[in-house]
Chains A and B, each alone.
Chain A
Amino acid sequence: MESGLNRLWTNVKALPRNVRDSVMRHGAPTSDRARSQAVFGNFFLHIHSVRVHPRSLKLTTTWALGVSLVSQFVILTVTGVLLMVYYNPSVELAYDSIKDFQYVVPTGRFIRNIHRWIAHMMVATMILHMARVFYTASYKAPREFNWVLGMFLFVLGLAFSFTGYLLPWDQLAFWAITIGANIAASPNELAAALDLPKAFYIGDIQKEILLGAGSVGQGALTRFYLLHVMVLPIIFVAGLAVHIWRIRKDGGLAHPGGNRTAAGKGVGTSDARPLTPAEQPKKTYGLMAVVAGTSPHTGKDLDETVSAWPSLLRAELAVFMATMLIAVALGLIADAPLREIANPMVPENPAKAPWYFLGLQEMVSYSAFVGGILIPAVVVIGLGLIPYLDREPEPSGVWFSGPRGRRIMGWTVVFATITAVLSVAIPVKFGWLRNWYPDISQLVIIVFNPGSLLTAAYALWSLVVIMRTRSTRLGAIALFTCFLVGFLILTYVGTYLRGPNWDFYWSQADWPVH
């Protein structure tokens, strides 16, 4: 006999299991098929493909840079939210709240360290990720758009970094905003050099929108805070989602021999052959999603893929844990930098940006408009267009496209190093146009500066490579390598060889003593 209470008691006993079953639509998967379905049917896992090629899981294919970037973004989001608990975006209190993180808030110093160091790591990893994708030709059709999306995320990542280091409202922050806003206003420099009427001074409008005022103050801090914690994350998450989704839709990670994609757009897809009698399907049911082509193969997978669950999930967890380990280690080893409180009367001397902008600062020290807006725009657009200008069909996933590419790259490193060093050495040693011809037109000084000449030399070199090798891919390798080498050298110069008043010094020991 079953009373109502008995039935209730039975239900109470079954409660944990029933709750679990109502949340997880499938039980713990025990077979490959069930695991595949779990990945396919789970909202959070379905961004993965059900099966992956073992090559995709090898560390040397990707160096785990993409997954590491996602892990870093997760860490930045979590630590960022924690920092928002106490951070106060007002010019009076912002600096104090950072000091509170250092000395008062429990674990505050540690969390801020992690946020800052992982932000630095993210910039470096983005560059490495871009280099990996580039040198393995993984931007080729059908992945052109994902390369463009990647460039977009790179620019957003830099914007994250810039808006982020403004928030402590220390000397670095104040003068970075001042310089940043004036770079936004620098098209005026060109308008003035061309003697255009005031209506063409669009720089003023851009500056006003950034600062919300005529000068750097509360309006600027509010706006940059809003960008950092709201606007950029929303755009970034949307872009990141599409970026990851496109990996799968474009046929998974690139690998030589082509990819079997649903769309059949993989490059160099190995040709289908008729099945031998032994391979003919004996069953007519099975998981159809894992096979390409027109016939349902069962028990046979030409790509020898493995289940995403557990192989891929295990690899991702390993990368995430490794990233966490690095984050914790960095957070314990070193404190995030904090300069003196913002002083609108005296910039630091030298006033240096974080390392990833020092190459840009070097460029800006030739011309605000050309170095701060024109050259970065040309570089970003030029890199973004590479997949559309180089459409040679070739297997993706081969480093440097083989020995020829390696040779071109070697020569390019030599060329790019010499020209970049010259672009710094000549102005340091001999001065530049204004020193030689004091009355020269400002327009000439703006246009012909070491930075623009270096950029032109790099573009020219790539054209020469294309002409000599008749290969746009090799030209692309030359161009990308040039920019990478130029970036590294200018960053090195800005970091180690520039001293007070942005003068050249071989070592910090030579800096003048005050």
Chain B
Amino acid sequence: MPGRLEPEPIGRRDFLGLAGWWSAGIAIVGSLLGMARLPKPRVLDEVSARFRLGAPSDFPPGTDTEIAGRNVRIVSNQEGIRAMSLICTHLGCIVGREADGGFSCPCHGSKFDPEGEPTAGPAPRALTWLAVSQSADGTLIVDKDTEVSAEEVYHV
């Protein structure tokens, strides 16, 4: 009786048949995997997330400006300048300013306080604060890809 070390010999035709099925299967699965790779882009073509804001003097302390076309809000005080994204952290709609200084989202009703902290609705986290820097000529630059903490203030 053949034991574990002496397995039942497999017939030549059975072996060739199985080999055929397995190679066809592997070839098909392999090509499907190869094809599945195609739709995931290697390069994301889009405009730079960094944009030039303007001179620091355009944002004197005490101002609170929404930058048209950028969905960014600039808060300036004695300590410096901060930039907050107006894209809702729930599903990406643009939040609007409320009379109390907070924000609310038109799509699913998330509400945020003036510091961007969620107060109601489905938003899972606070509106994001963005990195502010300055170029060599002194122009302020906001980088929408870089998130910073709400406490981080850019000193001009």
Q: Which of B89-145 contact A (CB under 8 A)?
A: 90-94, 96, 104-109, 111, 118-122, 124-125
- Does the CB pair A193–B107 fall under 8 Å? no
- Does the CB pair A219–B41 fall under 8 Å? yes
* Given A178-B93, A365-B122: A501 in contact with B39 (beta carbons within 8 A): no
Q: Which of A51-86 contact B (CB under 8 A)?
A: none
Question: Does chain A have a CB within 8 A of B151?
Answer: no
Q: Which of B46, B106, B120 contacts A348 (CB 8 A)?
A: B106
Q: Which of B44, B71, B90, B105 contacts A501 (CB 8 A)?
A: B105
* Given A347-B93, A351-B93: A361 in contact with B108 (beta carbons within 8 A): yes
Of all chain B residues, which has the CB nearest A451?
A: B122
Q: Which of A175, A349, A446 contacts B96 (CB 8 A)?
A: A349
- Does the CB pair B106–A349 fall under 8 Å? yes
- Does the CB pair B69–A209 fall under 8 Å? no
- Does the CB pair A213–B45 fall under 8 Å? yes
Question: Does chain B have a CB within 8 A of A431?
Answer: yes
Q: Which of B40, B71, B106, B121 contacts A500 (CB 8 A)?
A: B106
- Does the CB pair B107–A351 fall under 8 Å? yes
* Given A212-B41, A213-B45, A346-B94: A503 in contact with B109 (beta carbons within 8 A): yes
- Does the CB pair A179–B40 fall under 8 Å? no
Q: Which of B45, B109, B119 contacts A502 (CB 8 A)?
A: B109
Q: How far is the CA of A128 from the CA of B45 in the complex (A)?
A: 44
* Given A175-B107, A347-B94, A501-B109: A192 in contact with B125 (beta carbons within 8 A): yes
Q: Which of B48-105 contact A (CB under 8 A)?
A: 68-69, 71, 90-94, 96, 104-105
Of all chain A residues, which has the CB nearest B107?
A: A351
Q: How far is the CA of A175 from the CA of B45 in the complex (A)?
A: 20
Question: Does chain B have a CB within 8 A of A32?
Answer: no
Q: Which of B93, B106, B108 has the most CB of A within 10 A?
A: B108
Question: Does chain B have a CB within 8 A of A435?
Answer: yes
- Does the CB pair A209–B40 fall under 8 Å? yes
* Given A349-B106, A350-B106, A365-B108: A178 in contact with B44 (beta carbons within 8 A): no
Question: Does chain B have a CB within 8 A of A405?
Answer: no
- Does the CB pair A364–B92 fall under 8 Å? no
Interface size on A, residues (CB 8 A): 48
Q: Which of B40, B44, B122 contacts A366 (CB 8 A)?
A: B122
- Does the CB pair B93–A179 fall under 8 Å? yes
- Does the CB pair B92–A179 fall under 8 Å? yes
Q: How far is the CA of A314 from the CA of B40 in the complex (A)?
A: 49
- Does the CB pair B106–A189 fall under 8 Å? no
Of all chain A residues, which has the CB nearest B118?
A: A434
- Does the CB pair A364–B124 fall under 8 Å? no
Quote the shortest CB–CB distance from A217 to chain B (angstroms): 7
- Does the CB pair A364–B106 fall under 8 Å? no
Q: Which of A213, A219, A364 contacts B108 (CB 8 A)?
A: A364
Q: How far is the CA of A193 from the CA of B40 in the complex (A)?
A: 26
By a CB distance below 8 angstroms, the chain B residues around A212 are 39, 41
By a CB distance below 8 angstroms, the chain A residues around B105 are 501-502
By a CB distance below 8 angstroms, the chain B residues around A435 are 119-120
By a CB distance below 8 angstroms, the chain A residues around B90 are 182, 368
By a CB distance below 8 angstroms, the chain B residues around A175 are 93, 107
Quote the shortest CB–CB distance from B81 to chain A (angstroms): 22
Quote the shortest CB–CB distance from A196 to chain B (angstroms): 14
Q: How far is the CA of A449 from the CA of B105 in the complex (A)?
A: 19
By a CB distance below 8 angstroms, the chain B residues around A365 are 108-109, 121-122
- Does the CB pair A368–B107 fall under 8 Å? no
- Does the CB pair A208–B41 fall under 8 Å? yes
Question: Does chain B have a CB within 8 A of A214?
Answer: yes
Q: Which of B41, B121, B122, B124 has the most CB of A within 10 A?
A: B122
* Given A179-B107, A349-B96: A368 in contact with B120 (beta carbons within 8 A): no
- Does the CB pair A368–B91 fall under 8 Å? yes
Of all chain B residues, which has the CB nearest A214?
A: B44
Q: Which of B91, B96, B106 has the most CB of A within 10 A?
A: B91
Quote the shortest CB–CB distance from A339 to chain B (angstroms): 14
Q: How far is the CA of A416 from the CA of B119 in the complex (A)?
A: 30
- Does the CB pair B41–A213 fall under 8 Å? yes
Question: Does chain B have a CB within 8 A of A333?
Answer: no
Quote the shortest CB–CB distance from B68 to chain A (angstroms): 8
Question: Does chain B have a CB within 8 A of A311?
Answer: no
Q: Which of B92, B104, B119, B125 has the most CB of A within 10 A?
A: B92
Q: Mark A489-506, 1 if CB is under 8 A from B, else 0.
A: 000000000001111000
By a CB distance below 8 angstroms, the chain B residues around A372 are 91
Q: How far is the CA of A445 from the CA of B109 in the complex (A)?
A: 15
Question: Does chain B have a CB within 8 A of A183?
Answer: yes
Q: How far is the CA of A446 from the CA of B107 in the complex (A)?
A: 18
Q: How far is the CA of A244 from the CA of B46 in the complex (A)?
A: 45
- Does the CB pair B46–A214 fall under 8 Å? yes
Q: Mark A341-369, 1 if CB is under 8 A from B, else 0.
A: 00001111111000000000100111110
By a CB distance below 8 angstroms, the chain B residues around A500 are 106
Q: How far is the CA of A182 from the CA of B90 in the complex (A)?
A: 8
Please give 7 more A-B residue pairs, beta carbons under 8 A apart, in addition to A192-B125, A368-B124.
A208-B40, A209-B39, A345-B69, A347-B93, A347-B107, A365-B108, A502-B109
CB<8 Å pairs between A and B, sample of 7:
A178-B92, A192-B125, A212-B39, A214-B46, A367-B122, A367-B124, A435-B119
7 interchain residue pairs of minimum CB distance: A502-B109, A349-B106, A365-B108, A182-B91, A501-B104, A182-B92, A214-B44
